[in-house]
A = this chain, B = another copy of it.
Amino acid sequence: MIRKFEQPNCASCGSRKHSVFCELHGQELADLNDDKGCVFYKKGQIIFNSGQMPQGIYCVHEGKIKVYQVGDEGKEQIVRLAKGGDILGYRSLLGGGKYSSTAETLDDSKICFIPKNTFSKLLESNGTLSMLMMKLLSADLKMAELKMTDLAQKPVRERVAEAILYLKQTYGLDDDNETIAISLSREDIANIVGTATETTIRLLAEFKQEGIIRLDGKKIAILKPADLLKVANVTD
């Protein structure tokens, strides 16, 4: 059952102002608004699936999304997390060919779809958008390469700590300024880290034991940010 809701207006969309579309004005913005369609997704719904042909790009109005690949044994590897203002599916659209990942909501979400023709025209007419897309792809690639090195070299304990920091950085904190503003299953966290679910559970319990984090169901609160950084063994 999909709730009825008002289509957001791109001109006044707060998410857009922090997105790659921040530089759109006038007719371009009007075209974007006319051509896009916003859809409500319940938690756990698939937005696009590995193997499908991209028909456009998705712009997250609000919500939380995981993008993952499925390995040989059926295990997910989460390659990125998205939130309001992020766009999705541009990698495959720009690169050509089918989606190589699957996108799935982690929460109830509103996500706009922009047909590929509309997006292509904007790319052609607006050099700034092209530049921002290149910046975005470059940032994604940088993250992916860092993660490759981590996966190859860092022990699981450090990677679990990193994953917690990544969640904080991506989704921020609740009002208490401690609790990370997302609920993920232990399995999802394991699929970010690239390890077995049991190992993740054990390491979270370890961090809790050490007083670094507090666990309340799926919620994680960071009690000692400095210690967590130290465990994660990152400089920034």
Contacts and interface: CB of A to CB of B under 8 A. Distances in A.
Interface of A: 69, 71-73, 75, 77, 79, 90-92, 94-96, 100-101, 123-124, 127, 130-131, 133-135, 137-142, 144-149, 151-154, 194-195, 233
Contact of A79 (B79, B137, B149): B149
Q: Could you say which of A95, A124, A137, A152 has the most chain B C-beta atoms within 10 Å of its C-beta?
A: A152
A72 to B, nearest CB: 6
Given A71-B154, A141-B140, A77 B134 contact: no
Given A134-B130, A139-B95, A145 B69 contact: yes
Contacts of A130: 123, 127, 130-131, 134
Given A69-B145, A148-B151, A135 B95 contact: yes
A135 B71 contact: no
State the number of copies, please.
Answer: 2
Contacts of A154: 71-72
Contact of A153 (B140, B149, B194): B194
Contact of A152 (B77, B91, B100, B233): B77
Given A144-B145, A148-B194, 12 more contacts: A69-B145, A71-B154, A79-B145, A79-B149, A90-B138, A100-B142, A124-B127, A130-B134, A134-B137, A140-B141, A141-B141, A151-B151
A131 B149 CA distance: 28
Given A130-B130, A134-B130, A77 B153 contact: yes
Those 5 A-B pairs whose CB atoms lie nearest each other, nearest first: A152-B194, A95-B138, A144-B144, A137-B137, A71-B153
Contacts of A131: 123, 130
B71 A138 contact: no
21 contacts: A69-B146, A71-B149, A79-B145, A79-B148, A91-B141, A94-B134, A94-B137, A95-B142, A96-B135, A100-B146, A101-B145, A130-B131, A130-B134, A134-B134, A137-B137, A137-B141, A141-B141, A144-B145, A147-B148, A151-B151, A153-B194
